[in-house]
């Protein structure tokens, strides 16, 4: 008996160790998947003597739109960036409702949530931010990273600002504004996100609509509306008859003429035989 109990304990410990090793390996696989995301070389291009203005567009499916959008925005803020726009949209794909009592209905809607985000991060942090964001995606639908070379514009503006003393005040202001815009475009990358999740059904218990209750108790309104509808359909029927009346009369006239001719022809044959 002791040997049996001892064998059971050994088997249980082996199974427990294997289960622990399996959980540990699964966690390692998840961490590896999170760190193995490859980002295009278009992010943070480095060419000696040149400067770039970087923009990115990312469209992807996520598990939770609101939660993942907040995480992406917070990451941009942590990297010394900022959020320009954030728009959450609920699109109703289908809907239905069922009466569950005289006072309540159950409304079911198939909705899809989408969040549009526009934010800026320091250009030298673009790769790190995009890598973090892609780690939140389930399905990556579209990625676009665009770099516009701003070397010529930067040097041209610097020359203009060096000669600011010899131009008008308005031109000086314009040159300084252009310098600020160029520096902003070079130092900060703009990323547009479209985050969406799979459609899901939402059920809500609502009171019966007021218009329905009103029509049930307002008999005078219903009778008047029915009378107006009846008059309208009667007029429509009369107009339809008059519209086809010439055709009907023509067909009747032709029918009686043919019948009359056939009768005369038949009577003539009877007289000839007599």
Looking at residue 121, what is its pLDDT?
Answer: 93
Q: How far apart are the first and last CA of the chain?
A: 130
Q: What is the mean pLDDT of the chain?
A: 78
The rounded percent of the chain whose pLDDT value lies above 90 is 29
| Tens digits of residue pLDDT in 48-64 | 778 888 889 999 999 99
Structure tokens at 21: 């090793």
DSSP E strands: which ranges in 9-81?
52-62
| Tens digits of residue pLDDT in 118-155 | 999 998 899 899 999 999 999 999 999 888 887 767 66
Let me know: does 132 contact 73? Beta carbons within 8 Å.
no
- Which residues have a Cβ under 8 Å from the Cβ of 77 and sit 6 or more positions away? 83
84 vs 153: CA distance, rounded Å: 25
pLDDT (average), residues 240-261: 90
Closest CA to 69 of 54, 87, 93, 57: 87
| Tens digits of residue pLDDT in 49-108 | 788 888 899 999 999 999 999 999 999 999 999 999 999 999 988 988 887 777 788 889
pTM beyond 0.75: the answer is: no
| Cα angle, residue 242 at apex, residues 241 and 247 outer, rounded to 5° | 85
């Amino acid at each position: 008996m002791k040997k049996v109990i001892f064998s059971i304990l050994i088997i249980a410990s082996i199974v427990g160790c294997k289960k622990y090793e399996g959980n540990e390996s699964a966690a390692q696989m998840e961490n590896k998947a999170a760190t193995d995301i490859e980002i295009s070389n278009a992010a943070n291009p480095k060419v000696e003597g040149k400067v770039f203005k970087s923009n990115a567009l990312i469209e992807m499916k996520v598990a939770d739109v609101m939660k993942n959008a907040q995480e992406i925005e917070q990451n941009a803020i942590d990297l010394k960036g900022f959020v320009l726009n954030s728009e959450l949209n609920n699109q109703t794909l289908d809907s239905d409702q069922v009466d569950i009592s005289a006072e309540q209905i159950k409304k079911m809607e198939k909705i899809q949530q989408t969040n549009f985000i526009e934010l800026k991060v320091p250009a030298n942090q673009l790769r790190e931010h995009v890598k973090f964001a892609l780690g939140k995606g389930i399905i990556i639908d579209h990625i676009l990273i665009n770099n516009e070379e701003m070397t010529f514009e930067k040097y041209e503006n610097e020359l203009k600002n060096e000669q600011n003393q010899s131009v008008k005040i308005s031109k000086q202001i314009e040159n300084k504004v252009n310098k600020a815009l160029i520096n902003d475009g070079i130092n900060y990358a703009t990323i547009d996100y479209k985050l969406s999740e799979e459609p899901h059904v939402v059920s809500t218990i609502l009171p019966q609509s007021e218009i329905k209750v009103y029509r049930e108790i307002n008999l005078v309104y219903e009778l008047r509306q029915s009378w107006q509808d009846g008059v309208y359909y009667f007029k429509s029927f009369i107009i339809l008859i008059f519209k086809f009346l010439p055709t009907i009369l023509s067909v009747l006239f032709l029918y009686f003429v043919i019948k009359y001719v056939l009768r005369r022809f038949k009577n003539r044959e009877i007289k000839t035989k007599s």
